[in-house]
Structure 1
Amino acid sequence: MQPNVHTNSSTAVKSRSNWKVWWQLTRPHTLTASFVPVLLGTALALHITEINLILFSAMLVASILIQTATNMFNEYYDFKRGLDNEKSVGIGGAIVREGIKPKTVLRLAFSLFGVALLIGLYICINTSWWLAVIGIVSMAAGYFYTGGPIPIAYTPFGEIVAGFFMGVLIILISFYIQTGTITTTSVLVSIPISILVGAILLSNNIRDLDGDKENGRKTLAILLGRQNAIYLLAGMFTISYLWVFFLISLNYTTPWLAIVILSLPKAIKATKGFIGKTKPITMMPAMKATAQTNTIFGFLLSIGLFLSYYL
């Protein structure tokens, strides 16, 4: 039975009038995971063609809308399955703490998908209709991440799916709509971002390991165990950095990309922040540092590409 979170109508009305509630519902700390790949894909395209700022803006808004809608589906379905309550850490809390009706959250998520679809049509008209198929598959992945009979987030494949769609795919689409092609370099540069997006999901699952296990989830963190999951997280960080220097050594990319090393302290902080911790609230700084690593790493990659073009 779901908890009754709608008995205090005055509280609910007050909550609905507070824009901060809706802002938190988007889980803003996750939105850089959609912004960074678009920026990076566009920065890669700069070396081949002149950037179409309208297409860049359209791709950016569509990606953020899809990410926001996915977060709302997560909020809705985790509540419906009884996984979230007013004490849950790392959620928007609009339903369980603020009294927003679950159906309102669900309708809003589908509405954002609708707007993203319209923007996607504009992108397709100006590029290729094959992107419509890719866009629909991407939205389906966003929905089924926590929706459907077997949510992806409840399986060991959440990190892989998130990394592919929010890392590789967004970067390559952003690159393609500017250049009309896909290159080996664009694919190779997308790999470390894909890994770091997966790391964000892994850090989330490390934090929620005990609660997820109680609710029957089979996440990668649960299958590996907490200690091995932390080792994997450290390995993902390590591979991401080594990958960039590997590409530089083979002359696939500019040496300017070595600037990503400036984000290394965040990766170290994220890894150390999980060691010896078992309570979700104590792991929030480490999870935040993981997300920041992806953000800073991606920004620095983009800056390196811009510097190599203009200098």
Structure 2
Amino acid sequence: MFLEFIEITSLIASVFPFVLGVMYAYYNYHTINVVNTILFFIAANLLQMAVNANDNYQDFIHSDDDEEFKSQTNVVGVNNISITTARTITYSLAGIVAVIGLYLVTRVGLPLLWLGLFSFAVGYFYAAGPRPISNTPFGEIFSGVTMGFIIFLIAAFVNVYSVESLNFSFLWRILLASGIAIFAISNIMLANNICDEQEDKRNNRRTAVFYFGKKVMLRVFALSYVAGYLCLIVAILIGVLPWLSILTLLSIPFVWHNVHVFFQNQVKRETFVLSVKNSVTITMFFTIAMGAGIWLNL
């Protein structure tokens, strides 16, 4: 019940950006702070669990589709988790993250506090508040940026804070390097919204699919992968990623196949998982290729 409530299988989406951020720090600055790295790894995963728990909890209490969604789809209703238990788990996880995060701020500095507060705000308001982010056209952007960019950024910054400041130059180089992860992760949310088009209408969720239509957003889904690969190539050309990172392009046939299948059928229980597989495939290839480039100095 607990593992399903926190969606333990989704943690892989945050692990790869973390690993990539650490490798980015080592490749560009030749430095690793082991204590900071371990602390952030724990905090990032616990925060992901808290966000997942909060999403499930908020979706359950705010759903208008009581009979079908609450009893047959949402993990809280399916597993008969009490509201008190759901709330306790969510806030406990968030509290532990806050303690670890504040300790890291004392080690790294105030810039980390602002990044942490942003992550907390997105994590909470993604499914909570009068107009949750997930119910707007910006859900994909916030999910991709927070998990693909912010995790990558913090993982790098906690290792290089003593030799690099959080300036514009540092940020845009990180943005390019993490671009492929940003688009791959945002497409998970987009695929979810495409599959949930009818359910979202019943629950008054006005996502990008609601405003632009499934046909347009399917094109955006495919083009997002293209944009991600282009970010990778540019990052390699300007020297912030090792040349062997280009081997990430070997993932294209796998990704293209899944995109083609998804275009044919957008059903939550059958094809949504293809977006998750694409994200894992892309970031896994990227991690292996970048690691090889660092190891071989290529």
Q: TM-score, normalised by structure 1?
A: 0.85
Aligned structure 1 segments of 4 or more residues deviating by more than 6 angstroms: none
Report matched runs for 1:10-49 at 5 Å: 21-47=1-27, 48-49=29-30
Cα 1:308–1:276 change in 2 (3 A) is closer
| Structure 2 letter corresponding to 1:151 | P
Q: Does 1:185 align with 2:185?
A: no
| Structure 2 letter corresponding to 1:265 | P
Note the alpha carbon deviations across 1:10-60, whole angstroms, 9 max, x for none.
xxxxxxxxxxx1111121232122111111110001121331222112111
Report matched runs for 1:231-270 at 5 Å: 231-270=219-258
Q: Does 1:194 align with 2:182?
A: yes
Measure the CA separation in 2 of the matches of 1:68 and 1:25: 9
Pairwise CA distance, 1:137: 2.1
Measure the CA separation in 2 of the matches of 1:168 and 1:282: 29
Q: TM-score, normalised by structure 2?
A: 0.89
Pairwise CA distance, 1:250: 4.3
Pairwise CA distance, 1:246: 3.1
What is the DSSP-based 3-state SS (H/G/I as helix, E as strand, rest coil) of the residue aligned with 1:148? coil
What is the DSSP-based 3-state SS (H/G/I as helix, E as strand, rest coil) of the residue aligned with 1:150? coil
| Structure 2 letter corresponding to 1:46 | Y
The structure 2 residue matched to 1:299, chosen from 284, 288, 291, is 284
Measure the CA separation in 2 of the matches of 1:70 and 1:246: 32
Contact 2:6/2:49 (<8 A) preserved: yes
Q: Higher helix fraction: Structure 1 or Structure 2?
A: 2
Measure the CA separation in 1 of the matches of 2:106 and 2:238: 37
Q: Does 1:310 align with 2:295?
A: yes
Greater displacement, 200-209 / 128-137: 128-137
Cα 1:160–1:99 change in 2 (3 A) is same
Cα 1:279–1:305 change in 2 (3 A) is closer
The structure 1 residue matched to 2:140, chosen from 142, 159, 167, is 159
| Structure 2 letter corresponding to 1:305 | M
Measure the CA separation in 1 of the matches of 2:229 and 2:8: 26
Measure the CA separation in 2 of the matches of 1:153 and 1:51: 35
Consecutive unaligned residues of structure 2, counting only runs of 5 or more, are none
Pairwise CA distance, 1:105: 0.9
Pairwise CA distance, 1:252: 4.3
Partner of 1:100: 81
Partner of 1:119: 100
The structure 2 residue matched to 1:176, chosen from 157, 160, 173, is 157
Cα 1:22–1:269 change in 2 (3 A) is farther
Measure the CA separation in 2 of the matches of 1:80 and 1:26: 16
Contact 2:192/2:268 (<8 A) preserved: no
The structure 1 residue matched to 2:46, chosen from 44, 61, 65, is 65
Partner of 2:62: 81
What is the DSSP-based 3-state SS (H/G/I as helix, E as strand, rest coil) of the residue aligned with 1:86? helix
Partner of 2:37: 56
Partner of 1:14: none
Q: How many residues align?
A: 284
Measure the CA separation in 2 of the matches of 1:277 and 1:289: 11
Partner of 1:131: 112
Pairwise CA distance, 1:268: 1.8
Pairwise CA distance, 1:239: 1.4
Partner of 1:214: 202
Partner of 1:13: none
Cα 1:50–1:248 change in 2 (3 A) is closer
Measure the CA separation in 1 of the matches of 2:285 and 2:267: 32
Q: Does 1:288 align with 2:284?
A: no
Q: Percent identity?
A: 26
Contact 1:254/1:305 (<8 A) preserved: yes
Measure the CA separation in 2 of the matches of 1:96 and 1:270: 31
Note the alpha carbon deviations across 1:198-256, whole angstroms, 9 max, x for none.
11110111111110012111101222212221111111111112221233344443221
